[in-house]
Structure 1
Amino acid sequence: MKHLTIIVPDGQTNLSTLASIVGAYEIFAVANKYWKENGKNEVFRVELAGILPQAEFYNGMFSVRPQTNIANITKTDLIIVPSLVRDFQEAIGGNKQLIDWVGKQYKSGAEIASICTGAFMLASAGLLDGKSCSTHWSAEETFRNMFPKVNLQADKLITDENGIYTNGGAYSFLNLIIYLVEKYYDREVAIYCSKIFQIEMDRQSQSAFSIFKGQKQHGDEMVKEAQCYIESKMNEKISIENMSARFAIGRRNFDRRFIKATGNTPLEYLQRVKIESAKRAFETSRKTINEVMYEVGYADVKAFREVFRKITGMSPVDYRERYNNSI
């Protein structure tokens, strides 16, 4: 039987941390039970492990008593790291012992799955350097600034690379757990668990849920001015060449500085600003696809649809039908 460790971090105030611990534990318990009922040996022995006898959540409203201390676990096969508080520096600093233990276990052959902002713990251990990962879309800018060596793919719901699994935000952790159930048990067990817990299987993107606010946590004032210019001219056709000339800088250097500061090329940033505005229009109005398209500065329906799908993973029609119940 394999050993599964679900980490109980210290000093967490988010209810999502507690939810991801409980949710992961429950789904694996059901998978084990179903596996056993079909005449097979349980795949995992599941343990909650931490560094304190009791961890409190949401200002003491809830508490979890780990079944064991991590010091008592010399070998484990799979580790699940739950989401962390939004003060990532504090969460990392207060759990250094856990971080070191996770890194040691990975080097000894354990696989690791991080839920939502739990990716900050893996990145702080150096386990994600040069690898792809995901995290909650709202933490994208902070993560990129803190861990530039990591290939963050914030549009991905799940990443799977070299025995490390990460997932996007909040309750999408349920999709990650189903993914792990299929990997360690089989497709039949994963389908059974998805039906019991009513989890949509095989989701691959969190793009439709993201809200683009523009990455401005950087020190390049020229790029900030360019961002503000783009946002103020969102409904117009903007030439990137003309914009670079406006700031008296060559196009190549302009692109380089923009990418370094924001993680996007100027064109990608412009597209994301326009599509975010289009999303809000589809959510809150009864405007047609063409009306919204013209409002955000597109004149070609095909081009608008292609960019919208690239950024959200959905067509404009599908997005409007999902998020506007007045249609």
Structure 2
Amino acid sequence: MNVSILVPESAVLEAVADPRYLFTAVNQFLQASGKPPFFRVRLVGMTREVKYHNGLFSVQTDQLLNEVDRTDLIIIPALFGDMKRGIQQNEALIPWIKQQYAKGAEVASLCVGAFLLASTGLLDGKRCSTHWAFASEFRELFPAVELVDGSIITEEHRLYSSGGANSYWNLLLYLVEKYTDRDMAILASKYFAIDIDRDSQSAFMLFKGQKDHNDREILKAQEFIEANYNEKIAVEALADLVAVGRRTFERRFRKATHHSVVDYIQRVKVEAAKRSFETSRKNIGEVMFDVGYTDTKAFRDVFKKVTGLTPIEYRNKYYKDALVLA
């Protein structure tokens, strides 16, 4: 199987090296078990050499774009820095990716490599994952793409994408399992010490409400929510606060923030609860009351929906002196 790992300008160096390392290691595992190597891995770029970090590192490509007639899998590494600039620097890759996809190639983006993949238009009307911290910017640039919050891996019509940072290892293991078998993916996961079945980046997400919009009334409502998360906040009261009818308010709020009003309130409250669990010895009930909840079950359900963990699991994971407190 021909694997073409792109070497874009302004890429995360590790996101170029790691997939090459993984697929090469799997070939070695296969050979050690008496089987032939399966992956033919090539670094492909616009130039013979791509320099990173002001020339501190450089990557020698195996092939130029015009030297690749056909490939089976394209890996798009994560970009580094300003995403718009990164897309502009790598515009020459876009038609090549589209041509290879039309010939039958599968395409996988790692982390914010999704910005380059989305620039091809191939993701329009489809689902996609990317780093949680870039979700708002992604939605602004690519409104035709359905971004799946918190997802580690998405797959649709031969297009794959992964969540943030090291989540791309889970996508790479997923591809190894798809093209070889489960046993080989498990072996690779053990060798690289990666949790093979992690399916959410929710526990790592920090919620920062989208405020890069020009709707003053909605911004006022957001600021009120974030300043009064410890209170019970009603949607009707927020609409009255900004003197906008409820239906219009809810529609404008979703358009500006990409969240419903209720979801936004829940996420702000959960974010405050997370910080408390990380830094204090307060028990679940105390934290629950601090963020404006009085129903234990409702609080636990919302917390797990947002983070993927129960309050106790979250505390035990992130508080250095973790105690299992009821």
TM-score band w.r.t. shorter chain: over 0.9
Instruction: Give the CA deviation at 1:37.
Output: 2.7
Q: Is the 8 Å Cα contact of residues 10 and 81 (structure 2) preserved in structure 1? A: no
The residue correspondences of 1:280-291 to structure 2 (distance < 5 A) are 280-291=275-286
The residue correspondences of 1:57-72 to structure 2 (distance < 5 A) are 57-72=52-67
Determine the structure 2 residue equivalent to 1:209: 204
Instruction: Give the CA deviation at 1:297.
Output: 0.3
What letter matches 2:104 in structure 1?
Answer: G
1:129 aligns with 2:124: yes
SS in 2 for 1:96: coil
| Structure 2: stretches of 5+ with no match in the other structure | none
Instruction: Give the CA deviation at 1:62.
Output: 1.0
> 1:34 aligned to 20, 29, 48, which one?
29
| Structure 1: stretches of 5+ with no match in the other structure | none
1:65-98 CA distance string (max 9 Å, x none): 1111011001000000000023111111111111
CA distance in 2, matches of 1:174, 1:133: 16
Determine the structure 2 residue equivalent to 1:85: 80
Determine the structure 2 residue equivalent to 1:244: 239
CA distance in 2, matches of 1:217, 1:249: 20
1:296 aligns with 2:295: no
1:198 aligns with 2:185: no
Determine the structure 1 residue equivalent to 2:267: 272
Determine the structure 2 residue equivalent to 1:43: 38
Determine the structure 1 residue equivalent to 2:9: 10
CA distance in 1, matches of 2:71, 2:13: 22
What letter matches 2:194 in structure 1?
Answer: I
Determine the structure 2 residue equivalent to 1:263: 258
Runs ≥4 residues deviating over 3 A: none
CA distance in 2, matches of 1:63, 1:284: 41
Instruction: Give the CA deviation at 1:152.
Output: 0.3
SS in 2 for 1:33: helix
Using the size of structure 2 for normalisation, the TM-score is 0.97
RMSD, matched Cα: 1.0
> 1:154 aligned to 144, 149, 154, which one?
149
56-65 or 306-315, larger mean C-alpha shift: 56-65
Instruction: Give the CA deviation at 1:171.
Output: 1.3
Instruction: Give the CA deviation at 1:292.
Output: 0.6
1:127-180 CA distance string (max 9 Å, x none): 110000011111011001000000001310110111111001111111111111
1:267-301 CA distance string (max 9 Å, x none): 10000000000000000111111111000000011
What letter matches 2:60 in structure 1?
Answer: R
Determine the structure 2 residue equivalent to 1:223: 218
Using the size of structure 1 for normalisation, the TM-score is 0.97
Q: Is the 8 Å Cα contact of residues 49 and 61 (structure 2) preserved in structure 1? A: yes
Q: Is the 8 Å Cα contact of residues 236 and 296 (structure 1) preserved in structure 2? A: yes
Instruction: Give the CA deviation at 1:58.
Output: 1.8
